[in-house]
């Protein structure tokens, strides 16, 4: 018997493995404490992954494929990947073992080491999901002094002929980012979010509790927003095109206290579990735009394509060409602990309260909340990147390390020293106010940087620039802000830094 392993984020029904039924092949899947316990995870993240894995097994089994699914509480479950595999290989008297390339360095190393101990033939195959193969990524990223997202994005657009007219971008420009920065002020109306069928979720919350799995956040089965199979993922994509795409680009960076989803697709979980592929997603969106180009502007579509074809694939390139040392980078030597309010949402800072509350309740926040509120504060408070990495990885249902790590440690925390971003993504209250309504009902004054009512982001921002100015003295993109820092009167800067260190030392008091 040939044993083939399917990991929890490899739920691709269109993989060549499943093109025909083979009686001599058994597909194995496992729910393991190894995967629930290596970081504290949101309850909805675990429910979404386990529910999707169970749905996948049910679907391929219904098509005639032989499966072996080990549930979390199964007597045969050793809770470890390689020991489970050893038992399965013996049970089936296996003649061959194969697996799809893992997307996490940790699992890739574990499986390579495991295969080196086996006497039977083994094979690692492609997951047939991404738009750029790992070989292409190494070829593109190796040897470059600086990685530039825009060039990578253009290459991908050309390669797959996406929004192209010959060799030129449709609309005469590659990037409509300047059109994607509107603040949502109550109109246009935002449709309800797509909600998938949750029947397969029954019993999972109880399973984790009985098994002693430690989780964070909460779970409401009547408001669960993650698709559990390919069919639901495609319905979610269709819903996005029909109801949300028309305003996606305009408001993709907007934030609002009363709106969790705005015009976002929420397709990332389906993508990161491989239920749907990036190419089919962007081609579907572009096709919908072609049919409705009198009502949907190009800027709405390009903004969406850029997030998937550019940013998502680019992050994967950063991850695989920089690991394993990337995970230890701390270029700014930040050492502080993450505030407790990241686990409770109990803070008077309105932007952080709402962004964390949404994250705890729904295992979701969109990219600007993650970058310019949650990541921004952590960096300004000079938090150790290990702590913010673990929080981001655990709290979001769509967080898998290959995409989370370069986004968090690289773009958000600048811990990689500029591999991903040429400058840190930090701001005072002005940006948060520009893109959302959080400041309108906050306990703090967005315009003040000293005094008890001053917004903590303001004092932390200028203190960060002053504390870290040696790191940025040769960074042209930071030059203007450092010149402004120099113009702050000495006594005012002393007051700013005094307040900043009060916040850093006791962040949970603010």
What is the domain-level CATH number for residue 184? 1.25.40.80
Task: Mark which of 76, 93, 125 sits at the end of a domain.
Answer: 125
Q: What is the DSSP string of 312-339?
A: IHHHHHHHHHHTTGGGG--TT---BPPP
pLDDT of residue 123: 97
Q: How far apart are CA 390 and CA 39, in angstroms?
A: 7
> 162 and 117, same structural domain?
no
The CATH number assigned to the domain holding 49 equals 3.40.50.620
Helix (H) or strand (E) holding 67: strand 66-70
Within-domain flag for 216? no
DSSP β-ladder status, 164-165 and 168-169:
antiparallel
pLDDT of residue 200: 61
Instruction: Decide if pLDDT at 28 tops 70.
Output: yes
Instruction: Decide if pLDDT at 378 tops 70.
Output: yes
> 97 and 13, same structural domain?
yes
Domain tally, the chain: 3
Q: What is the mean pLDDT of residues 77-84?
A: 97
Instruction: Decide if 254 contacts 182 (C-beta within 8 A).
Output: yes
Task: Mark which of 100, 125, 150 sits at the end of a domain.
Answer: 125
> 155 and 96, same structural domain?
no
Average pLDDT, the chain: 95
Report which of 281, 278, 282 is spatially closest to residue 316, judged by C-alpha positions.
Answer: 278
Within-domain flag for 214? no
pLDDT of residue 382: 98
In whole angstroms, what separates CA 216 from the centre of its chain? 17
pLDDT band at 83; cut points 50, 70, 90: very high
Instruction: Decide if pLDDT at 157 tops 90.
Output: yes
pLDDT of residue 198: 67
> 168 and 31, same structural domain?
no
Q: Is 509 exposed, middle or buried (0-12, 13-18, 19+ CB in 10 A)?
A: exposed
Q: What is the mean pLDDT of residues 467-475?
A: 94
Instruction: Decide if pLDDT at 226 tops 90.
Output: yes
140-144, 174-178, 193-197: which range is least confident on average?
140-144
Q: What is the mean pLDDT of residues 142-151?
A: 80
> 99 and 164, same structural domain?
no
> 379 and 425, same structural domain?
yes
pLDDT of residue 118: 96
pLDDT of residue 16: 97
> 35 and 91, same structural domain?
yes
pLDDT band at 293; cut points 50, 70, 90: confident
Instruction: Decide if pLDDT at 417 tops 90.
Output: yes
Instruction: Decide if pLDDT at 374 tops 80.
Output: yes
Within-domain flag for 403? yes
Q: What is the mean pLDDT of residues 369-384?
A: 98
> 232 and 107, same structural domain?
no
> 357 and 265, same structural domain?
no
pLDDT of residue 170: 95
Instruction: Decide if pLDDT at 144 tops 80.
Output: no
What is the 8-class DSSP label of residue 6? -
Taking phi over 0 as left and psi of -120 to 50 as alpha, with beta for the rest, 64 belongs to: left
> 140 and 101, same structural domain?
no
Whole-angstrom CA distances from 138 to 142, 319, 323, 328 are 6, 10, 12, 21
pLDDT of residue 193: 87
* CB contact set of 361 (below 8 Å; sequence gap of 6+): 217, 218, 220
The CATH number assigned to the domain holding 494 equals 1.10.579.10
> 117 and 142, same structural domain?
no
> 310 and 393, same structural domain?
no
Within-domain flag for 335? no
Domain that holds residue 282: 134-195+227-322
Q: What is the mean pLDDT of residues 249-254?
A: 94
pLDDT band at 199; cut points 50, 70, 90: low
pLDDT of residue 62: 97
Within-domain flag for 450? yes
* CB contact set of 175 (below 8 Å; sequence gap of 6+): 150, 153, 302, 306
Within-domain flag for 329? no
Give the tens place of pLDDT for each residue, 438-465: 999 999 999 999 999 999 999 999 999 9
């Amino acid at each position: 018997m040939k044993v083939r392993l399917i990991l929890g984020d490899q739920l691709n029904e269109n993989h060549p493995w499943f093109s025909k039924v083979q009686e001599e092949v058994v597909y194995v899947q496992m729910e393991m404490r190894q995967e629930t316990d290596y970081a504290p995870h949101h309850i909805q993240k675990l429910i979404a992954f386990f529910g999707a894995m169970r749905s996948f097994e049910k679907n391929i089994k219904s098509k005639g494929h032989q499966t072996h699914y080990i549930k979390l509480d199964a007597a045969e479950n050793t809770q470890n990947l390689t020991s489970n595999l050893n038992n399965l290989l013996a049970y089936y008297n296996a003649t061959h073992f194969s697996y799809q390339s893992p997307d996490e360095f940790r699992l890739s190393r574990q499986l390579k080491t495991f295969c080196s101990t086996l006497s039977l033939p083994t094979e690692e195959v492609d997951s047939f999901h991404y738009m750029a193969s790992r070989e292409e990524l190494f070829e593109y990223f190796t040897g470059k002094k600086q990685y530039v997202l825009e060039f990578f994005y253009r290459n991908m657009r050309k390669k797959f002929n996406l929004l192209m007219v010959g060799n030129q971008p449709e609309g005469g420009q590659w990037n409509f980012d300047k059109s994607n920065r509107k603040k949502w002020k109550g109109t246009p109306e935002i449709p309800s979010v797509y909600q998938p069928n949750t029947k397969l979720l029954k019993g999972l919350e109880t399973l984790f509790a009985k098994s002693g799995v430690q989780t964070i956040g909460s779970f409401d089965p009547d408001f669960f927003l993650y698709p559990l199979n390919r069919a639901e993922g495609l319905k979610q994509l269709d819903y996005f095109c029909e109801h949300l795409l028309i305003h996606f680009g305009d408001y993709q960076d907007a934030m609002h206290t009363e709106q969790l989803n705005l015009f976002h697709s929420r397709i990332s979980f389906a993508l990161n579990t491989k239920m749907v592929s990036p190419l089919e997603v962007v081609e579907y969106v572009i096709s919908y735009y072609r049919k409705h180009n009198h009502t949907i502007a190009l800027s709405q579509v390009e903004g969406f394509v850029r997030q998937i074809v550019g940013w998502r694939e680019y992050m994967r390139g950063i991850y695989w060409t920089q690991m394993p040392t990337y995970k230890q980078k701390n270029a700014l030597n930040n050492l502080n602990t993450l505030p407790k309010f990241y686990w409770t949402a109990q803070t008077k800072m309105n932007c952080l309260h709402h962004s964390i509350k949404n994250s705890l309740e729904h295992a979701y926040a969109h990219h600007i909340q993650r970058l310019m509120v949650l990541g921004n504060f952590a960096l300004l408070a000079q938090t150790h990147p290990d702590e913010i990495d673990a929080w981001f990885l655990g709290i979001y249902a769509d967080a898998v390390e290959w995409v989370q790590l370069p986004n968090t440690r690289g773009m958000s925390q600048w811990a990689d020293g500029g591999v991903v971003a040429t400058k840190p993504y930090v701001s005072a209250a002005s940006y948060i106010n520009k893109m959302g309504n959080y400041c309108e009902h906050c306990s703090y004054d967005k315009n003040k940087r000293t005094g008890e009512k001053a917004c903590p982001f303001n004092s932390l921002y200028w203190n960060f620039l002053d504390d870290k100015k040696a790191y940025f003295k040769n960074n042209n993109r930071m030059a203007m802000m450092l010149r402004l820092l120099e113009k702050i009167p000495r006594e005012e800067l002393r007051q700013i830094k005094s307040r900043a260190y009060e916040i850093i030392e006791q962040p949970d008091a603010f």
